[in-house]
Structure 1
C-alpha cells in the first residue's frame, strides 16, 4: 500500500510514494526478535524478511548459502561435454555479448578453464557488423579455427537457427543465458537458463556472469578443483550484477557481498587498473560500479571493439592491465564526448519544438549520431522529460533505435503495436532496441505517439520517489546508521532507502554551491542538527530560508571531510507549505 504526495520543482513534478505496512504485529515481532527499532524492522519486512533466520541470512550472507549448481537443468550435460572436450583435446571457444555482463562472463569462464586446459579461446561479436547475440560470422570463425565446442554466455537462448547452423559445421553449443526463452529452446548440448519453464533451479535472477560462475562451480565440484579457485572471480561477478541491474536478492546478494569484498581487497589486475583510473580511493559499492567501472568496460564495445575489455579483464600482469586500461579509458573519454554532444543536440531539438514538448512520448532522430551511445542518450532524455523515449540514428542502411520507458509503462507492448513498421525489435518493459527502414521513421514517430498517448496514464508521467518510511530526525542515531549500512549491498529490490521527515526547519541559512546545489542544515524540534546536500535543488533556497517548516525526503550517508566523519542527509525532494 502506498500513499502519495506530489511536489513541484522548477523543472518537473515529482510524486513521493510512501510504502505503508498494515501488518504491524509482524513488524513488532521482528523488531523484538532482532532487538532493532521498528523502523529497521519495517525495512526488513518491506524486503520480504519476516523471521530471525531470514534476517540472519540477509545480514550475514555466507558462500555456503549458494545453491547446488547441479540443480540447474542441463548442468550435468554441460559439465560432461566440457570434460569430453578436454579429454579429447578439442578446441573450445568462449563466446559472449559485448556489454559488461557479456565481457565479464567471457573473462571468468575463459580464465577459469585456461588454468586447467590450454586449447581455449574467446570471441566477442562486433556490435555494428554482427549485432547482438550469436552470429553466423562467429560460428564461421569457430569452424575456421577447428573449434568443436562453443560455450555461449549472456546470449543464445533464442538462437535456434544459429545452433542448427553450428551443428552443420560439426560444432556443439553449451548455452548459458539468463534472458527469457522463446517458444523453442535451441537444440544445444546443454541450455543453462534458470528462466526455462522446465528448470527448477531455486533462484531465477542470476546475471550472465553469475551463470558462468555456476558452470565453473559445477565443473570444480565434479573435478576436485578447490572452490577457492572459483571464488577468485567473484569480483567479476559483482561487476556484472551491478552493471546488468539484476535484483540483489537471494543468491545474487551472496555473490555481490563477497564479490565486493574481493573487488575492494584483492581485485584482478584489470579491475585494479580501472579502480586506479577512476581516482576513487575509498571502498567501492554497487553504485560506484554502475557509474565508474561499468561505463569504462562498456565503452570499448560502444566505440570500438569489446575484445579490449576482455583483454583487460583477463590480464595476467599489472603491465598488461595498465596498457589495456589506458585504451579502455581513451574509449570511455571518447564515449563521454559523443554522449555529451548528442544529448545537447537532442535537448535543443526538443526544447525548440512546442509540438514535441506537448507530446506524451519523445522520439528524436539524426542520421549522424553515434549508434554506440544512443541508449545512454535515451536514458538522459527520459530522466529530463520523463516520457517513453526513442533515440534513432542511421546504421548499415537502416535506422536503429534505443528506447527507454518510465515507471509502470510497458515499452515493449507499445513497440508491438508498431511492429509492422519495424524490421526487428527486442527488449523488455523498460528498455528496448529496434531497427526500421528509413522511409518508416516519420510513420513510426506518429504511430508511437498515438499508442503511448492512448495507453499511458497521467500518473505514469510524474516521476516517483519511493519513500521507505516517514521518520523523525531524532530516529537517526549512530546505532541506526550502523545497522542501516548492513542492508548493503544495495541495488534493485534492495534500493538505498529514502526516508521522509515532516516539518523540519533550516538551521541558520542555506546556500548554493557548485552547479545549483543546495547546502543547508536542518533540525526538527529537539533533534540534533544534520548537514544536508541537495543536488540540483538550489531553486528552493529562498523558500527554506524563510524560517517556516518544510518536508524533506532523503538518503542517509556518511560525509568525510579531511579527518572528520559525520552523518549527512542527501536531499532528494523538498515540499514547502
Structure 2
C-alpha cells in the first residue's frame, strides 16, 4: 500500500559514478546504478546475476544425502508404503506433492500426512507418528518441518520408524534421532544451497533419487513445483534458487501438471505468461488459501492427479476457498482498523488486537495489511480455548519480531519467528503485561526512526526513459523476490493530470513529465489526503495486461510534493539552499556564498564548478548530493 505523504521520510541514495566497464553488460544507467548500490561493483558479479552457474553436485554439499537416497531407493524397489509429512503452507504442500509424485513414479507407495492447522498445529507430532506406525508405515520423510519435532522423532525411534528430515528452519542445539538430515545449515559455508526452502530440499532429494534409479521421469514436474513453492515461501533468489527458477519459470506455462494448468485457468492467467509475479500473486495465494481454511490434502491431490476433469474441480475448490479467504481478510481488516482508529491520538505504538471469533488461518495476512497501513508492528490474536489466545505478528523493517518475542518469553507459553514475522500463544491474563512490554520496545524503535516510515529509492529515472526497451532490460534482472526485489525507482517533478479513486480504495493517476505521460496505480490508497499538482514518485515498473493489450505502468510505493525550484539540503550538519539555473546547479550556504556547477560530460558523474578547489572530494560530493536531490543524477 502507498504510504501517505505525511507519514513518510525520503532517504535518497548516495550518488554513484557508473563504472564504464559495467556498461558492457548492456544495461542502462538507472539499472546499473541500482545494482551498484546493491553491491554489484564489477562486470563479473553482474554476469553471475544475469547468468548464474549450474548447481554443483549436491552430494558434496549434503552429508546425509547418500543415506537418504539409499533408504528411499530400497522403498521404491520394494514398493513400500511410506508417509511424506509436510506443512500446511504453500512451501510444505508443494514439497509434499513433489515427493509424493516422484516416489509414486519410481515405484513406492507414498501418502501425504499433513497436520491440521486447527487441531494439530505446526509440524510432525507424536500422535501422527503413532497413527502412521499403527497403520504399518515404517518410513517417514518430513518436508518443511521436522528439526524441532524432538518428541515425535524420539517416539518414531521407539516404534522403529525410520525418519528422513528435510527442513530449513532453525536447527536445535541437539539433534533428535533420525536416519538422515537434509538442511541448508549442514552445507559448507557460502554454499549455493544455503537459501533453499523446504521445496528446494525436496527437489534436491528427488533429483538425487531419480538419478540413482536411472530415471529422469517426473523431474520436469518436480521442477515446476520447486518454482511454485520457492516463490510462495519467499526464499532468497540467490544461488541455486536463482539458477533453477531461471530454468524452470519459462516452462510453467506448458507444465505437464494438469493441476497447475487448472490453477492457471481459474486464476485467469491462462493467456498470460507465468512469471514470478504471477506465481506470487495469482497461483500461490490460491494454494495457501487451502492450508489456511481447508484440507491441505486437496492441494496434494490437485498437484499429483493426471485427470484433467478432477484437476479442474479441485482447482475450483481452491478458488472458492481463496474467495472465502479474501472475504474473511476484508472483514477482519475492517474490524481491526476500526478498533485502532477508535483510539485516535491514544493509539499504541505496538498494535495488539484480540477478538475470539477471528480465524487463525488469516490473521497473519491481516496483520501484514495493518503494518502497511499504519507503519507499526502488529499482533492479531484469536481464541485458542482454555483461556489461551494464539497470535500472528508482523512488523515493518527495522523492528525485530523475534527479538521482541524473546524479550517477552516469560509471559508467553509458545513463540517463534524471524525479524519480520512471528507467532505466539499467551494466556488471557498475561495480555496487559505483554502489551505494555511490546509497547515499550515499539516506542523506542519509533523514537530511533523519527516516527515515520522510510522511503529509500534506488535509482532516478525520467518518465521518457520508461520504454519497451527499458522494460526488456529490466526483465534481464528477473526473477525478482526475496533478497533480489524489483528495483524501486523514483522520478521528480511529475504533474498529476488526472486522478481517479477506483473501487477497493485504489488510486489511479496519470502523470506527465515533459512530453512523457504514464499511468500510475497506488493499491489500497484509501483516500484521505489532497494530492499536490506536482509530485515526486517512488515506484516499481510493471506491465499491465488488460483485454488483450499491454501497457507499462508505475506501481507507486510513495509520493511527495515536489520541492519546486529550491530545496534545503543538509550535509555534515551544514545547511545549503539548492536551486537550478537551466542545466546548472546553484548552491548557497548560510553565509550567502554561491557555488555553481554543471555536469562534466567528459567524466561519469563529475561536475565543473566555479569553486577554486573543484576537484576536492567534499565539493564534488556536495554537487552530487544536490544533483540527486533535484532529480538530476543517477
When normalised by structure 1's length, the TM-score is 0.89
| Corresponding residue for residue 41 of structure 1 | 32
Q: Is 2:517 the partner of 1:529?
A: yes
Q: CA RMSD in A?
A: 2.5
CA–CA distance in 2 between the matches of 1:444 and 1:65? 49
Q: Could you say what secondary structure the match of 1:232 adopts?
A: helix
**SS of the residue aligned with 1:467?**
coil
Which deviates the most, 530-539 or 427-436? Answer: 530-539
Structure 2: which 5+ runs fail to align?
564-634
Alignment check: 8 A CA contact 1:381 1:389 kept: yes
Who is 2:365 aligned against?
376
**What's 2:425 paired with?**
435
* Structure 1 residue aligned with 2:21: 29
What does 1:498-513 align with in structure 2 at a 5 Å threshold?
498-506=488-496, 508-513=497-502
Give distance in 1, aligned partners of 2:392 and 2:526: 30
- Indicate which of 484, 487, 499 corresponds to 1:497: 487
Deviations 1:171-218 (A, max 9, x none): 011111111212112321111101237777433111111110000111
Q: Does 1:364 align with 2:353?
A: yes
Aligned match of 1:180 in 157, 170, 174?
A: 170
Is residue 2:563 matched to residue 1:571? no
Deviations 1:132-186 (A, max 9, x none): 0111121012201211111100001122332111010010111111112121123
Answer yes or no: is 1:407 the counterpart of 2:391: no
Q: Deviations over 1:96-133 (max 9, x none)?
A: 01110000000001100100114221210111211101
> Residue 295 of structure 1: CA displacement?
1.9
Residues 259-278 of structure 1: pairs in structure 2 closer than 5 A: 259-266=248-255, 268-278=257-267
What residue in structure 2 maps to residue 13 of structure 1? 7
Greater shift, 434-443 or 195-204, is seen at 195-204
Tell me which moved more, 528-537 or 412-421. Answer: 528-537
Q: 2:452 aligns with which of 462, 471, 476?
A: 462
Distance, in Å, in 2 between the alignment partners of 1:315 and 1:331 is 20
The verdict on how the C-alpha distance between 1:369 and 1:277 changes in structure 2, with shifts beyond 3 A counting, is: same
Q: Which runs of 5+ in 1 are unaligned?
A: 1-6
On the 8 A contact 1:236/1:259 being kept in 2, the answer is: no
Does the CA contact (< 8 Å) of 1:501 and 1:553 recur in 2?
yes
Q: For residues 460 and 119 of structure 1, what CA distance do their matches in structure 2 show? A: 59
- Distance, in Å, in 2 between the alignment partners of 1:361 and 1:491 is 28
Q: Which residue of 2 aligns with 1:3?
A: none
Q: Which digits, 9 at most, give the CA deviation of each residue in 1:526-551, with x for residues without a partner? A: x533343444386676522xxxx432
- Residue of structure 2 in register with 1:59 after alignment: 50
2:578 aligned partner: none
Are 1:550 and 2:545 matched, yes or no? Answer: no
Q: Which secondary structure state, in structure 1, belongs to the residue aligned with residue 177 of structure 2?
A: coil
Count of aligned residue pairs for this structure pair: 556
Q: How does 1:23-172 map to 2 (within 5 A)?
A: 24=17, 27-31=19-23, 33-60=24-51, 65-70=54-59, 71-172=61-162
Pick from 208, 215, 234: which aligns with 1:225?
Answer: 215
Rg (Cα) greater in structure:
2
Q: What displacement does 1:394 show?
A: 0.8
CA offset digits 1:430-449 (Å, max 9, x no partner): 11111112222222222222
- In structure 2, the residue matched to 1:326 is 316
Moved more, 324-333 or 52-61: 52-61
**2:184 touches 2:193 (CA, 8 Å); kept in 1?**
yes
The secondary structure found in structure 2 opposite 1:501 is: strand
Contact kept? 1:28, 1:38, Cα under 8 Å: no
CA contact (8 A) 2:79 2:108 kept: no
Deviations 1:43-62 (A, max 9, x none): 3334444444543443345x
Distance change >3 Å, CA 136–CA 347, structure 1 → 2: same
Counterpart CA distance in 2 for 1:173 and 1:456 is: 46
Secondary structure of 2:226's counterpart equals helix
Deviations 1:61-84 (A, max 9, x none): 5xx712322121211111112123
Q: How far did 1:313 drift?
A: 1.4
Distance 1:573 1:145, change over 3 A: same
Deviation of 1:291 (Å): 2.4
1:328-373 CA-partner distances (Å, limit 9, x unpaired): 222222222222221111111111123751x210000111211111
CA contact (8 A) 1:522 1:532 kept: no
- Measured in 2, the distance between the counterparts of 1:13 and 1:273 equals 43
Return the alpha-carbon distance in structure 2 between the equivalents of residues 329 and 382 of structure 1: 26
8 A contact 1:518–1:537 mirrored in 2: no
Structure 1 Cα separation of the partners of residues 188 and 478 of structure 2: 33
CA–CA separation in structure 1 for the residues paired with 2:159 and 2:3: 62
1:243 counterpart residue number = 232
Asked if the contact 1:160–1:184 (Cα under 8 Å) also holds between the matched residues in 2, the reply is: no
Q: Does 1:444 align with 2:434?
A: yes
Alpha-carbon shift at residue 219 of structure 1 (Å): 1.2
Task: Tell me the SS of whatever aligns to 1:567.
Answer: strand
Question: 8 Å contact 1:69–1:215 — kept in the other structure?
Answer: no
Cα distance between partner residues in 1 of 2:545 and 2:96: 38
Contact 1:239 1:289 in 2 (8 A): yes
Task: For 1:471 and 1:337, locate their aligned partners in 2 and report how far apart those are by CA, in whole Å.
Answer: 38
Q: Using CA pairs below 8 Å that are at least 6 residues apart, which structure has the higher relative contact order?
A: 2
Aligned positions of 1:200-211 closer than 5 A: 201-211=191-201
CA distance in 2, matches of 1:8, 1:98: 32
8 Å CA contact retained: 2:105, 2:218:
no
**Aligned partner of residue 182 in structure 1, secondary structure:** coil
1:468 Cα offset (Å): 1.7
- CA distance in 2 between partners of 1:84 and 1:564 (Å): 53
Q: 1-side partners of 2:450 and 2:172: how far apart?
A: 29
